[in-house]
Amino acid sequence: MALRMSSLFVRTQKEDPVGAEVASHKLLHRAGYIRRSAPGIYTWLPLGLQVLGKIEAIVREEMARAGSQEVHFPGLLPADPYRKSGRWEAFGPDLFHLQDRKDNDYILAPTHEEVFTLLVKDLYSSYKDLPLSIYQVQTKYRDEARPRAGLLRGREFIMKDAYSFDIDDAGLDASYEAMRVAYLRAFARLGLPCLPVRATPGAMGGSGTEEFIYPSEVGEDTFVRSPGGYAANVEAVTSIVPDAIEYSLSPAARVEDTPDTPTIETLVDAANANHPREDRAWTAADTLKNVVCAITHPDGTREIIVIGLPGDREVDLDRAAGTGMLGNGEVGLEAATAEDLAAHPELVKGYIGPGLSPETQLLGLEGSSKVRFLLDPRVVDGTRWITGANEPGRHVFDLVAGRDFTSDGTIEAAQVVLGDPAPDGSGPLELARGVEIGQIFKLGRKYAESLDLKVLDQNGKATTVTMGSYGLGVTRVMACIAEEYHSETGLLWPQHLAPADVHIIAAGKGEEIAEAAETLTSELESEGVTVLLDDRGKVSPGFKFADAELIGIPTVIVVGRGLADGVVEVRNRLTDEKQDQPVAEVVASTVAAVRTAYATADGAADAAIADAAGGAAGGEVAAVADTSAL
């Protein structure tokens, strides 16, 4: 049955929602697709549900194609499995939690690894049962501190989450690859440009992981890519480590007075003026900046660490925390507070350094200070540094790594910047912003171990299962499609994702016009083409056109004055073409055009996979060709 503007539960809005900054948020609201219910929580109106249904159908088809079976878990889950996995604590305030009438703890599921694991444990017992891939399309809840941008970051949202279960690593690799292909296919069919980027597992645990990024300025995620096809989020970028330097000829380390040098810049100037280097001028890259940070461990204890990095680099604590190099992917990392510093008077603010070696080394040696000292990987043996002398107004010069000081380990805590080399040698990195629309994980055995999921292997021995986890943000994807496909005047959906295939406008008052629009509608619908008919009697053509532009169905048929000459106007807003067509021909041509659009979108998946296979030779993760031109 056609949707009819005369009765459709929609009222387009002239005003953007309060505080809206991105196009998808503004337009989905103004065109009457969604309506805010609470911060980050939305109600779906009929037009919105139509598009959402089409997106979900494509995702389901690709899951089925990848051999994944649909199940459906509750949204309200007992807290206990999340306590066992450690995520009750790890999710922190992002977790909505509550108690039932018997005071049992429950959560609103933010993601479902634990209960999927338990279900498989419940039903399966043998290696013969594996591999298994199961998924759901489900409402998730995360109490985001800053829900933003409409559907881009909500507190109640729809996710497709899949989980794979394998007996061994080779099986996990195959399951992961099948799901990776399904994601590439799904995003291609959804018309969404998408870049799989290397990522780090973060709180999820596990080994390999990739994020699928929709490149867009409205995104919150920064990622890097090189001309040669390397792509990663900044947490996953690894620095190229230079070779160690022969240091036998380096000058001896010494402490110098450096008054009035509160910044790296003033320090470098003073160094060049008063303590010049023999071979070239000192630069900021020759200073070793030591930053005091604090880690909060899962058990609540707070640890002070010092991170040393070249002075020409800014610290990126999110990157440092995301690398997992702190030894525990779930710890909190932040700058040290005044209180933290007060507890460590040996760390003299502005003048922190390893200390003049070896007798006075303060950091990085057993028995010196109790704080861990972690270094940027570029601080290799033989590098010469100007750094703090642990006394106000004084710095050490020519402190040589490996000769004069060592560390407790390395950490990637320096901000990645434009022009940094890609770790695989594929050229200088550029930084871009994007929206994470999916992430796939080789979880490995973390959840299976904490929840004791074992099956008997071929020798009858109980073996821990290895798992993968694969998330795709369905409602977020819809927002991204709206970001990618809109015009100055409204949404502009890809033909196969529009809330109806055709928008018919009865433009004018004549009875003949209304009747012709009705006839056209029923003829198209009898061919399986869905129609949104603007049959409102007392609304002017101008208002109808404006609503049509806002709602964004790309194919618009205007039944108006031309009818007297036996023609209607067919507009393709994606190509910006308008043409008059004889009424007698318009059904056939529209049916053909709509069917072609669906077929083309389906075919895009094959092209995307072919592209990805080309780039992925040698096991490398490559960018998929931009599919926006589909």
46-65 vs 169-189: helix crossing angle, rounded to 10: 140
List Cα–Cα distances, 397 to 103, 256, 369, 390, 405, in angstroms. 63, 7, 21, 13, 13
Among 20, 30, 91, 139, binds a second copy (CB under 8 A): 139
Which amino acid makes up residue 174?
A
Among 2, 59, 90, 134, binds a second copy (CB under 8 A): 134
Which 367-426 residues touch a second copy, going by CB under 8 A?
Answer: none
Tokens representing 136? 């759901």
Kindly write out the interface string for residues 75-114 of this chain, putting x where it contacts a second copy by CB under 8 A and - elsewhere.
Answer: xxxx--------------xx-xxx-xx----x-x------
Q: How far is the CB of 31 from a second copy (least distance, A)?
A: 13
Which amino acid makes up residue 518?
E
Q: How far is the CB of 95 from a second copy (least distance, A)?
A: 9
Which 153-182 residues touch a second copy, going by CB under 8 A?
Answer: 155-156
Using CA atoms, how far apart are residues 140 and 162, in angstroms rounded to an integer?
A: 13
Comparing CB distances to a second copy, the nearer of 139 and 239 is 139
Instruction: Select the span of 3-11, 303-311, 340-348, 601-609 touching a second copy (CB under 8 A).
Output: 3-11
What DSSP string describes 26-48? Answer: HHHHHTTSEEEEETTEEEEPHHH
Exposure on the CB side of residue 325, measured as CA atoms within 13 A: 23
Q: How far is the CB of 43 from a second copy (least distance, A)?
A: 5
What DSSP string describes 373-432? Answer: EEE-TT--TT-EEEEE-SSTTEEEEEEEBTTTB--SEE---BPP-TTPBPTTSS-B-EEE
Among 56, 113, 143, 611, binds a second copy (CB under 8 A): 143
Instruction: Select the span of 135-143, 316-324, 360-368, 514-522 touching a second copy (CB under 8 A).
Output: 135-143
Comparing CB distances to a second copy, the nearer of 370 and 509 is 509
φ, ψ at 131 (rounded to 5°): -75, 160
- In which order are the strands placed within the sheet that holds 555-559? 3-4, 531-534, 502-506, 555-559, 567-572, 577-582
Residue 42 in contact with a second copy, rule: CB under 8 A: yes
Q: How far is the CB of 76 from a second copy (least distance, A)?
A: 5
Instruction: Select the span of 9-17, 200-208, 221-229, 460-468 touching a second copy (CB under 8 A).
Output: 9-17
Among 41, 170, 244, 343, binds a second copy (CB under 8 A): 41
19, 146 contact by CB (below 8 A): no
Q: How far is the CB of 142 from a second copy (least distance, A)?
A: 10
Q: How far is the CB of 549 from a second copy (least distance, A)?
A: 20
Comparing CB distances to a second copy, the nearer of 145 and 617 is 145
Comparing CB distances to a second copy, the nearer of 77 and 497 is 77
Comparing CB distances to a second copy, the nearer of 75 and 377 is 75
Among 35, 121, 148, 344, binds a second copy (CB under 8 A): 35
Residue 119 in contact with a second copy, rule: CB under 8 A: yes
> Widest CA span of the chain, in angstroms?
100
φ, ψ at 123 (rounded to 5°): -105, -25
Number of residues this chain uses to bind a second copy (CB under 8 A): 51
Q: How far is the CB of 1 from a second copy (least distance, A)?
A: 6
Residue 9 in contact with a second copy, rule: CB under 8 A: yes
Cβ neighbourhood burial of 508 (10 Å; 0-12, 13-18, 19+):
middle
Size of the chain in residues: 630
Comparing CB distances to a second copy, the nearer of 116 and 183 is 116
Comparing CB distances to a second copy, the nearer of 74 and 227 is 74
Among 57, 64, 240, 281, binds a second copy (CB under 8 A): 64
List Cα–Cα distances, 94 to 84, 91, 108, 202, in angstroms. 18, 6, 10, 15
DSSP label of 315: B
- Nearest one of 296, 292, 321, 317 to 306, comparing CA atoms: 292
Comparing CB distances to a second copy, the nearer of 186 and 293 is 186
Q: How far is the CB of 587 from a second copy (least distance, A)?
A: 24
Q: How far is the CB of 27 from a second copy (least distance, A)?
A: 17
Sign of torsion over alpha carbons 176, 182, 188, 193 = negative
Residue 14 in contact with a second copy, rule: CB under 8 A: no
Cβ neighbourhood burial of 612 (10 Å; 0-12, 13-18, 19+):
buried
Bridge partners (DSSP) listed for residue 394: 257
Q: How far is the CB of 351 from a second copy (least distance, A)?
A: 39
Residue 1 in contact with a second copy, rule: CB under 8 A: yes
Using CA atoms, how far apart are residues 18 and 275, in angstroms rounded to an integer?
A: 58
- Nearest one of 451, 442, 444, 456 to 116, comparing CA atoms: 451
Cβ neighbourhood burial of 453 (10 Å; 0-12, 13-18, 19+):
buried
Q: How far is the CB of 133 from a second copy (least distance, A)?
A: 9
Using CA atoms, how far apart are residues 622 and 624, in angstroms rounded to an integer?
A: 6
Comparing CB distances to a second copy, the nearer of 155 and 395 is 155
Comparing CB distances to a second copy, the nearer of 9 and 279 is 9
Q: How far is the CB of 98 from a second copy (least distance, A)?
A: 4
- Nearest one of 428, 57, 395, 73 to 259, comparing CA atoms: 395
Q: How far is the CB of 69 from a second copy (least distance, A)?
A: 5
Residue 43 in contact with a second copy, rule: CB under 8 A: yes
Q: How far is the CB of 52 from a second copy (least distance, A)?
A: 8
Q: How far is the CB of 271 from a second copy (least distance, A)?
A: 48
Tokens representing 13? 């809005």
Q: How far is the CB of 536 from a second copy (least distance, A)?
A: 10
| Secondary element (H or E) of residue 515 | helix 511-526
Tokens representing 421? 């080399």
DSSP label of 148: B
Residue 141 in contact with a second copy, rule: CB under 8 A: yes
Tokens representing 606? 């094959």
Comparing CB distances to a second copy, the nearer of 70 and 626 is 70
256, 397 contact by CB (below 8 A): yes
Residue 72 in contact with a second copy, rule: CB under 8 A: yes
Residue 115 in contact with a second copy, rule: CB under 8 A: yes
Which 540-569 residues touch a second copy, going by CB under 8 A?
Answer: none
| Binding positions for a second copy, rule: CB under 8 A | 1, 7-11, 32, 35, 37-38, 41-46, 49, 64, 67, 69-78, 93-94, 96-98, 100-101, 106, 108, 115, 119, 122-124, 132, 134, 139, 141, 143, 145, 155-156
